[in-house]
Amino acid sequence: MCGIFAYLNYLEPKTRREILELLIKGLQRLEYRGYDSAGVAFDQNENNIEIIRCKGKVQALSDTIWNRDDIDLDHQYQIHVGIAHTRWATHGAPSDLNSHPQRSDEQNEFVVVHNGILTNYKDIKKFLEKKNYTFESETDTEVIVKLLKHLHETYPKMKFRELVEQVSQQLEGAFAIVLKSKHFPGECVATRRGSPLLVGIKTKTDLLSDHIPIIYSNKVTNHKLITQISLSGDETEIIRRPISKQSSLNVALDDIIIKEPSEDTHRSNLMNNSLVGGKLARSSSTTEFVPCDDGKVAEYLFASDASAIIEHTNRVIFLEDDDVASIEDGRLTIHRIKRNLDGGDSLTREIMTLKMEIQQIMKGNYSSFMQKEIFEQPESVINTMRGRINFENETIVLGGIKEFIPEIKRCRRLLLIGCGTSYHSIIATRQILEELTELPVMIELASDFLDRNTPIFRDDVCFFVSQSGETADTLMALRYCKQRSALIVGITNTVGSSICRESHCGVHINAGPEIGVASTKAYTSQVISLVMFALVMSEDRISMRPRRSEIIQGLKKLPEQIKQVLNLDQQVLEMSKELYQQKSLLLMGRGWNYSTVLEGALKIKELTYMHSEGILAGELKHGPLALIDDRMPVLTVITRDSVYPKCMNALQQVMARGANPILIAEEDDLETQKYSKRVLLIPHTVDCLQGILSVIPMQLLSYHIAVLRKCDVDCPRNLAKSVTVE
């Protein structure tokens, strides 16, 4: 949710027009995350930061910028920092004033873009109001820059990075922030906690080192930084409390004492190499990298995810919680206030090379990203299996969890935890996991799992499934289980994501970038990944070899069968024309197809804003049957598996109440086809994979109904691709 993009060019000449075009393009790459307003901040002249914000689409922001006649678009900068943001309203309604960047005062001395929610902003705001600060917006974000201004006025000699370090220690909740200031031209500081943020590095020469060291400021002392504020407004000072242990209810800065941070003397030997090319000089601190070629030319980009950066560079650093990234004089440094005493902190941050290509985040010849991603599924499922399944000798290797398989086999139970579509992929694979692992399998919605304070034990294995790897509830559930010493397995589609980094082991589903808010190809790849895990767990059980062989051969045929199902597109379009004016749609399935109807109903709700409900056919008589009449459209999934007779009974019951159902059935199932003229025929495959084939017509159906209802397919209202707040 929300999107941050920032760009710093150092000795790389750029006109103001080029900078603004780059910022707008970055925001457009982040539109899929969901937003209701957008804004940019850039230098208007040497002593002024210009902020342009507006409610609505990025295109509206772009039009506003280009229609301004007071901006010299041809002015060139050798060094410049520009920040941009797409906002998803949490505190304060969507409006120009509540949009980001937020400012410290009318002179725009400090400006910030922020993703996340600050849970203690009211306390900080109360403190600042006592200091005669006035607030112009309803956002929680505004307290960040006003607190920064207050600290700067109190201690004008503090560096920009030090100011941000102090302010970040007062914030509670989830945040990723990027800041610029007229007092520190050419500098940019960013930090995060619980919300994703990465730094892209673009230089003229290749990077020879793949790490950057961290500066631990262990000797920062702070005698009277924090005061706790009661509901009545009384302040009680906390004396000599270490910064890393402070609460952040309020800030009193009258007696702050800051010593120069001492650099940690224990450095990684890996850092003896230069970062860029063969001629990179170190600063005297031995923790900064300075590009020397071409007069220190460097470009840095900050973004919420890689899709905004990949067209500029594929070299990125994923910041971790409480990292403070600072760029000063073209040098990038990463700081932390204090190292954990348990020694678990890394001494470096890895510079990763993204494998994503710009073509993967372009629509190509498709009208929307969702349509493109539906039709990419034959390739995406191949990518999920590539290098992992040997179809000749029927063996499977999941490199990310290979070393942990013996431990997983000894566990007490498996817990699978996710939200939304990821939760449906868990439901889809629960039965095959129970069958092949012979272990108890619990499935959990992450938010409910946390609400219940579910008991977790050391010998539990917990799977966390998330396309983005940043889903807030899932990530909090992961940390909850990790604190209780369970083994953590991440199933994600995003390398470098928080879940990916914080898991003990995991499986990358390799579905490729998914831009459409409504998940399609990630769902099918998640199902396949979990099925492959079940196959790995049963590889040494002779009694299960026939079953394993059947599933592996089913996986081999799956890409061609998906292509066959996609040929139903025109037929699904004709059905959509009959349904798009309906107010409700019921989907019914059982067994392996229960998850299919849940996922289909979710897609219809997400995209079409039509009421839709996925019903377990076995529960029909316990309430849902009361909804059935001749005006209620019903879509039923019936495949020939162990519950086929029961599904046929449910079909007879809805038809007896006057319903004229739409059927999804197997091609050679002539018996089922007799019951309706509206039948979508799909190939037969092994039961645990049948849901992959039966969900695709529902993806197509939701897409076509949304188009006919003139809905925004890629960005449904009120929804975001990456749900990074609770």
Pairing of strands 3-15, 37-45: unpaired
Residue 411 annotated among the catalytic residues of the structure? no
Amino acid at 701: L
Helix 377-385 × helix 521-537 angle, to 10° = 30
Amino acid at 408: I
Cα separation of 544 and 155, whole Å? 70
Residue 301 near residue 309 (C-beta atoms within 8 A): yes
**What are the DSSP calls for 461-495, one per residue?**
EEEEEESSS--HHHHHHHHHHHHTT-EEEEEESST
Cα separation of 637 and 695, whole Å? 9
Phi, psi (deg, nearest 5) at residue 212: -130, 135
**What are the DSSP calls for 183-231, one per residue?**
TSTT-EEEEEEBS--EEEEE-SS-B---EEEEEE-TT---TT-BEEE-T
* Radius of gyration of the chain, Cα coordinates, nearest whole angstrom: 27
C-beta contacts of 44-51 below 8 A and 24+ residues apart: 44/71, 46/185, 47/182, 48/107, 48/108, 48/182, 49/103, 49/108, 49/111, 49/180, 49/182, 50/108, 51/101, 51/103, 51/108, 51/111
User: Three-class SS of residue 600?
Assistant: helix
Residue with tokens 């969702």: 370
Residue with tokens 């990821």: 422
Amino acid at 544: M
Cα separation of 117 and 171, whole Å? 10
Shortest CA distance to 200 belongs to which of 83, 317, 84?
317
Shortest CA distance to 466 belongs to which of 437, 441, 495?
495
Quote the Cα angle for 641-643-648, to 5°.
105
Cα separation of 233 and 92, whole Å? 24
Kind and range of the H or E run holding 671 = helix 670-673
Kindly name the residue from 2, 500, 688, 711 that is annotated as catalytic: 2
Pairing of strands 487-492, 460-466: parallel
Residue with tokens 């006649």: 69
Helix 377-385 × helix 545-566 angle, to 10° = 150
Q: What share of the chain is helix, strand, coil (3-state, %, to 5)?
A: 35, 25, 40
Shortest CA distance to 82 belongs to which of 57, 50, 56?
50
**300 DSSP β-pair partners:** 8, 201
Residues tagged active-site: 2
